[in-house]
């Protein structure tokens, strides 16, 4: 299993690096849309649609929604913040759902409701990526966001293994602990400190306001990235499945790899707009 995971990762990592660094905006939009569409095919199963035709139909609906969103935002760029605000609001609601689980399932048990939640998860992720891709030093920003997510996940893994006794959300994901959460949190702060040093030496001179805003956004993003994982775990547990699919050998499905990204990307992009923060 470990060998399979490593091989799959060695294939996926260059694809992501190529997509982030080398694809122009339009091609990048299709690249992320393709990932979101495959994720939608998996979400259909999580929502309870098990027949192949219904899953393909849901994925097609997702792609059309992304296309319509792109056309709308191209014509009405001022509405970008509202799309990201709705995406951020969803994750606030999701926190309440995770905290209440296994109670509260009557609110989202119906298949159409779970299908709608899939749109709330994947469309804001795409919108957030598009906003980041259009910023100065876009590749650096996207890589930094990935490092926050990976740092939170890696720190949580090692801290959880060593000190993880008190469970973070036992009804949703018994493997997650408070020690893991704080370990991931600390790792994300270290990533932020390293990023700040790099920016100051290679990109631009930073002041105290820039540094404070950077750490605020980093903290918020790191916390929300954990929530993305928990929400998918909650939905899979309710559905009675372990992985979103078996598309990625040793890793499960695409959603199992991008669940934290789906929550972190729109919130990171929204914070950039709200705090008027970015690289020059």
Residues 6+ apart with CB under 8 A from 162: 179
Tokens 């296309």: give the residue: 67
The three-state DSSP-derived secondary structure of the chain is: CHHHHHHHHHHHHHHHHHHHHHCCHHHHHHHHHHHHHHHHHHHHHHHCCCCHHHHHHHHHHHHHHHHHHHHHHHHCHHHHHHHHHHHHHHHHHHHHHHHHCCCCHHHCCCHHHHHHHHHHHHHHHHHHHHHHHCCCCHHHHHHHHHHHHHHHHHHHHHHHHHHCCCEEECCCEEEEEHHHHHHHHHHHHHHHHHHHHHHHHHCCCCCHHHHHHHHHHHHHHHHHHHHHHHHHHHHHHHHCCCCCCCCECCCECHHHHHHHHHHHHHHHHHHHHHCCCCCC
Tokens 């989202």: give the residue: 108
Burial of 191 (0-12, 13-18, 19+ CB in 10 A): buried
Instruction: Please check whether residue 279 lies inside any domain of the structure.
Output: no
The pLDDT profile of the chain, 280 residues, written as one tens digit per residue, is: 455 656 666 667 788 888 888 899 999 999 999 999 999 999 999 999 999 999 999 999 999 999 999 999 998 888 999 999 999 999 999 999 999 999 989 999 999 999 999 999 999 999 999 999 999 999 999 999 999 999 998 898 889 888 888 899 989 988 899 999 999 999 999 999 999 999 999 999 999 999 999 999 999 999 999 999 999 999 999 999 887 877 766 667 889 888 999 999 999 999 999 999 999 8
pLDDT for 252 equals 75
pLDDT for 79 equals 92
Instruction: Please check whether residue 280 lies inside any domain of the structure.
Output: no
Residues 6+ apart with CB under 8 A from 178: 164, 166, 167, 168
pLDDT for 7 equals 66
pLDDT for 20 equals 85
Between vectors from CA 103 to CA 112 and to CA 180, what angle results, nearest 5°? 100
What pTM was estimated for this model as a whole?
0.94
pLDDT for 10 equals 66
pLDDT for 1 equals 46
Instruction: Please check whether residue 116 lies inside any domain of the structure.
Output: yes
Total structural domains in the chain? 1
Residues 6+ apart with CB under 8 A from 80: 73, 127, 131, 273
CA within 13 Å, CB half, 26? 1
Nearest to 72 by CA among 18, 126, 116: 126
Between vectors from CA 146 to CA 247 and to CA 34, what angle results, nearest 5°? 40
pLDDT for 243 equals 79
Domain residue limits at 246 = 2-274
Q: How many CB atoms lie within 10 A of CB 183?
A: 24
- Whole-number CA gyration radius for the chain: 18
């Amino acid at each position: 299993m470990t060998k399979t995971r490593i091989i799959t990762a060695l294939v996926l990592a260059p694809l992501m690096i190529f997509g982030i660094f080398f694809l122009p905006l339009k091609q990048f939009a299709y690249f992320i849309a393709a990932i979101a569409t495959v994720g939608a095919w998996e979400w259909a199963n999580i929502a309870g649609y098990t027949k192949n035709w219904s899953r393909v139909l849901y994925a097609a609906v997702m792609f059309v929604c992304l296309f319509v969103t792109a056309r709308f935002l191209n014509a009405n760029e001022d509405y970008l913040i509202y799309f990201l605000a709705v995406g951020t609001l969803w994750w606030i609601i999701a926190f309440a759902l995770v905290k209440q689980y296994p109670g509260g399932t009557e609110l989202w048990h119906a298949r159409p409701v779970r299908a709608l939640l899939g749109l709330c998860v994947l469309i804001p992720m795409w919108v957030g990526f598009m906003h980041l891709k259009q910023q100065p030093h876009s590749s650096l920003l996207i890589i930094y966001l990935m490092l926050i997510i990976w740092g939170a996940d890696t720190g949580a893994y090692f801290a959880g293994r060593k000190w993880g006794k008190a469970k973070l959300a036992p009804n949703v994901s018994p493997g997650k602990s408070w020690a893991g959460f704080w370990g991931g949190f600390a790792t994300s702060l270290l990533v932020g400190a390293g990023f700040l040093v790099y920016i100051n030496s290679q990109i631009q001179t930073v002041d105290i306001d820039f540094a404070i805003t950077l750490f605020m956004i980093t903290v918020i993003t790191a916390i929300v990235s954990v929530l993305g994982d928990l929400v998918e775990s909650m939905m899979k547990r309710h559905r009675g499945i372990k992985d979103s699919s078996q598309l990625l050998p040793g890793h499960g499905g695409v959603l199992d790899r991008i669940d934290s990204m789906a929550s972190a990307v729109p919130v990171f992009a929204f914070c950039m707009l709200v705090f008027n923060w970015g690289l020059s």
